[in-house]
Chain A
Amino acid sequence: MPIQYYIILAAALFCIGVTGVLIRRNAIIIFMCVELMLNSVNLLLVAFSKMHYAISSANNKGTAAITTGTDAQLFVFFIMVVAAAEVSVGLAIIVMMYRNVHSTDVNFLNRLKN
């Protein structure tokens, strides 16, 4: 598959996530759209890692080093780790806000005090 298809697919997913952050008012949905953006970047990183491997093996007559392109896939692994930690803290904050104001509407959550 040409790499452009993957770039455009990831860009479309990313833009859908951005649109979701802009048009929704529920804090949890906004959070889910952020996850969608993270996933589109992950998909792009994996596609680029395979592209890098293909270019490297073409330059070295079919035998690329086995570690070519693994860095991008490990980046995806670390992004997933950070996303999991971020989600646990973020959802705890949303639950605490909900307990105080009984709403997840971001228009009511625009002040940190009260």
Chain B
Amino acid sequence: MTATEILFWFLSALALFSALMVLVSKNPVHSVLWLIVVFFSISGHYILLNAQFLAIVNLIVYAGAIMVLFLFVIMLMNLNNSTEPQKNSLVKLAGVVAGCLLLTVFVSAVRSAQEIKDSQALMNTGDIGLIENLGKVLFRDYVIPFELSSILFLSAMVGAVVIGKKE
């Protein structure tokens, strides 16, 4: 096994384990911290795929900004184990069974797909994930969506302020 494969399996196991811990943690603050671990392992996957720009943006936007927002809201509401609502175990069992069945459908669909049978994802090489190439395409072919996303941000900011302010 090469170092890349070892890193792939380690990061995959870490991502799946922390994603499960997000679900089973009783304390919402612990869920947020486990979700940050998931985002770090997904960033590790991006680095393995040589998509450095997305790895850094994932860390800054998700782990840095969005998760801190979640943490602030949870601490503002003072949620903890005792206030955590619990579903009854029958509903939980039904949810877990539904999730496992969905995974079974996905896995069997992937196993029977012929088009991707011998395809490989290129690891460690290829310059398409570097910021220079992404930036050229972004500002040449995707200028209008880029500008529209700034308008989206402005409206989201105004909306959040209007919803969040006290009457």
Asked if B3 is at the interface of the complex by the 8 Å CB criterion, the answer is no
Among A24, A46, A55, contact of B46 (Cβ-Cβ < 8 Å): A46
Would A73 and B74 count as touching, CB distance under 8 A?
no
Interface residues of B (CB under 8 A from A): 4-5, 8, 12, 15-16, 19-20, 22-23, 28, 31-32, 35, 38-39, 42, 45-46, 49-51, 53-54, 57-58, 61-62, 65-66, 69-70, 73-74, 76-77, 79, 84-87, 91-92, 94-96, 98-100, 102-103, 106-107, 110-111, 116, 119-123, 126-129, 133-134, 136-138, 142, 145, 149, 152-153, 156-157, 159-161, 163-164, 166
- Is the CB–CB distance between A88 and B103 below 8 Å? no
Which residues on A sit within 8 Å (CB–CB) of B42?
Answer: 39, 42-43
Main secondary structure of the interface of B (DSSP, over half): helix
Q: Is the pair A80, B85 in contact by a Cβ cutoff of 8 Å?
A: no
Chain A interface mostly helix, strand, loop or mixed? helix
Cα separation A17 to B86 with both chains bound (whole Å): 18
A-B contact count (CB 8 A): 240
Q: How far is the CA of A17 from the CA of B35 in the complex (A)?
A: 11
- Known contacts A16-B16, A51-B120; decide if A87 and B134 are in contact (CB<8 Å): no
Q: A6-B121, A29-B31, A74-B137 are in contact. Are A104 and B79 (CB under 8 A)?
A: yes
